[in-house]
Amino acid sequence: MSGLVLAIDQGTTSTRAIIFDADRRIAGVGQQEFPQHFPASGWVEHDPEDIWQSVLATCKTALRKAKCKAADIAAIGITNQRETVVVWDKATGRPIHNAIVWQDRRTAPLCQKLRKQGLEPLFSRKTGLLLDPYFSATKIAWLLDRVPGARKRAERGELLAGTIDAFLIWRLTGGRVHATDATNASRTLVYNIRDNRWDEELLKILRIPAALLPEVKDCAADFGMTEKTLLGAEIPILGVAGDQQAATIGQACFEPGMMKSTYGTGCFALLNTGSDLVQSRNRLLTTIAYRLNGKTTYALEGSIFVAGAAVQWLRDGIKVIGKAEQSGHLAAHADETQEIYLVPAFVGLGTPHWDAEARGAIFGLTRNTGPAEFARAALESVAFQTRDLLDAMRKDWKPKHGNSKTVLRVDGGMVASDWAMQRLADILDAPVDRPTSLETTALGAAWLAGARAGVWPEQKAFAKSWSLERRFGPAMDEKDRRRKLKGWRDSVRRTLTDF
């Protein structure tokens, strides 16, 4: 059998399809952006049909560029933006509303209501998550309540719901398979990560019929065959993982204590805790890193809502740069005497604050502040937020569990900037490792599918193939680091809604 594997990487702003060969080298890539919809302040939506068409188009492009046919592909792996949800008609496959994106904050009042009822400890104990609009289930509840007739139709079994992976699996298999994997399920707020099942008590609280939801499988499992008419041949779908967990796999963070951080629109850091389900005392998330052969591996996760999006804001919002790549060069020429802090709470603050109502702010402006200082503040905000995550993880993950000297493996669009990665190492006071292959998310999904198909190496051999492109070591004076961190924490404190 061919060693070619097709990875579908369905992200927040674009869809990519990448074909890897048997040596994990890229043979062909297709990429397509799709529209973002902002119907109200704090609301973010996608048209599921745009996503579906982008998946088909990018897969065909990747096949053409790889100069192969669908019949040459051994397996498909899917990775996706995790908490974004779709509700669709079971008979026709048509969505009843736009997808509600993970960034969307419309369910903040419902989350606040549940917190006031004292229910957050219950949700947290069972799911490892906090009551925040970020997660999927309150979005499903909103759709059932607000789309005319949706709740009655759901109760009659006429509708299905799921994260983007489940919607794509349904479409790719011609409606034969309604399934998801354990990592995506673990982000819904209604999946019991201790028992590995949908939780009836939590579903009842949110009034979500269990029949709506997909079957939950291992990350490497049989998710059905694609319809022949879509790509030209039937292809087995054998791997699925949410994007951050797929990146963790692609970075070969298989041992407890290993940590990766992905810098895309947001930033998501995962620390592998092995079979140990660590209940955070510092408002981190406890989540499923992956489930293979029925065995669950857990992780602590920190979620930053705005990372690369801060650079996009510089470019598209206030137009101080023309291209995102300019940010590092500008930052390197910033006036070091100006202490400018950007708290990018454009859609609230994630870990460890979880303040959905906080909004962005800039501190320390002077008449001399210009584009270079704004660029430095935007890139430093990502480093500062990562430091907050790392500090929380160090408090939860004690040295007895492994080496307390953390090395961070990084990926995502932002890590191409040497300046940003060096400043990250400086602020963290820890090494930052940039791998040779930055396509770790797609690679993780591809490995799940390729290993399941028997055409790619098993876990240990795959881990040995991970290679380092460059290590960034901390070089900042400790006194400077402390001063900067003090200024950052004071700025965040002033931004929080309970200030």
Tally of domains within the chain: 2
Residue 279 has a CB neighbour count (10 Å cut-off) of 11
Q: How far is CA 16 from CA 7, 61, 80, 383, in A?
A: 8, 10, 10, 27
Which helix (H) or strand (E) is 232 found in, with range? none
Report d(CA 260, CA 268) in Å as an integer. 8
- Whether 488 is covered by a domain: the verdict is yes
Q: Are 247 and 272 in contact (CB under 8 A)?
A: no
- Whether 450 is covered by a domain: the verdict is no
- Whether 440 is covered by a domain: the verdict is no
* One-character DSSP codes across 305-361: S-SHHHHHIIIIIS-S-SSTTHHHHHHHTS-TT---EEE--BTBB-TTT-BTT---E
Last residue of a domain, one of 208, 242, 276: 242
- Whether 26 is covered by a domain: the verdict is yes
259 and 396 part of one domain: yes
Q: Is 369 annotated as a binding residue?
A: no
Which helix (H) or strand (E) is 465 found in, with range? none
Which pLDDT belongs to residue 405? Answer: 65
Q: Are 413 and 219 in contact (CB under 8 A)?
A: no
Which helix (H) or strand (E) is 262 found in, with range? strand 259-263
Q: Where are the beta strands (DSSP E) in 59-192?
A: 75-80, 85-89, 99-100, 159-163, 179-181, 191-192
pLDDT mean by block of 10 residues, the chain; 499 residues:
91 93 93 92 93 97 96 97 96 96 92 95 94 94 96 95 97 97 97 97 96 97 97 97 94 90 88 90 92 95 88 88 85 91 90 86 93 93 93 78 70 89 94 90 96 94 92 95 96 87
187 and 297 part of one domain: no
236 and 262 part of one domain: no
Q: Is 290 annotated as a binding residue?
A: no
Q: Is 134 annotated as a binding residue?
A: yes
28 and 92 part of one domain: yes
Report d(CA 297, CA 285) in Å as an integer. 14
Q: Are 456 and 5 in contact (CB under 8 A)?
A: yes
Here the tokens at position 217 are 């499988």
Report d(CA 379, CA 421) in Å as an integer. 9
- Whether 458 is covered by a domain: the verdict is no
Last residue of a domain, one of 194, 222, 242: 242
Q: Is 243 annotated as a binding residue?
A: yes
Q: Are 5 and 63 in contact (CB under 8 A)?
A: no
Here the tokens at position 211 are 């029949």
Which pLDDT belongs to residue 459? Answer: 93
Number of residues assigned to the chain: 499
208, 214, 220, 224: CA torsion to nearest 10: -170
Which pLDDT belongs to residue 499? Answer: 61
Nearest to 382 by CA among 411, 421, 332: 421
271 and 325 part of one domain: yes
Q: What is the DSSP letter of 474?
A: P
Q: Is 439 annotated as a binding residue?
A: no
Which pLDDT belongs to residue 91? Answer: 94
Q: Is 308 annotated as a binding residue?
A: yes
Q: Is 257 annotated as a binding residue?
A: no
Q: Is 13 annotated as a binding residue?
A: yes
Residue with tokens 């479409």: 171
236 and 294 part of one domain: no
238 and 258 part of one domain: no
152 and 263 part of one domain: no
Which pLDDT belongs to residue 367? Answer: 92
Residue 469 has a CB neighbour count (10 Å cut-off) of 11
Nearest to 50 by CA among 32, 28, 65: 32
Residue 49's contacts (CB-CB under 8 Å, 6 or more residues apart) are 95
Here the tokens at position 304 are 């930053």
Chain center to CA of 44: 16
CATH code at position 18: 3.30.420.40
228 and 113 part of one domain: yes
Measure the CA angle with vertex 153, ends 151 and 154; round to 5°: 65
51 and 171 part of one domain: yes
183 and 269 part of one domain: no
352 upstream amide cis, omega within 30 of 0: yes
Which helix (H) or strand (E) is 240 found in, with range? strand 237-242
- Whether 323 is covered by a domain: the verdict is yes
Report d(CA 438, CA 418) in Å as an integer. 14
Domain encompassing residue 71: 5-242
Measure the CA angle with vertex 463, ends 279 and 4; round to 5°: 115
Q: Is 83 annotated as a binding residue?
A: yes
Nearest to 302 by CA among 362, 361, 389: 389
Q: How far is CA 287 from CA 94, 283, 373, in A?
A: 31, 12, 37
- Whether 93 is covered by a domain: the verdict is yes
Residue 147 has a CB neighbour count (10 Å cut-off) of 16
Question: Do the bridges between strand 341-343 and strand 361-363 make them parallel or antiparallel, or are there none, so unpaired?
Answer: antiparallel
Which pLDDT belongs to residue 470? Answer: 94
232 and 285 part of one domain: no
- Whether 462 is covered by a domain: the verdict is no
Q: Is 10 annotated as a binding residue?
A: no
Last residue of a domain, one of 219, 242, 265: 242
Question: Do the bridges between strand 259-263 and strand 237-242 make them parallel or antiparallel, or are there none, so unpaired?
Answer: unpaired
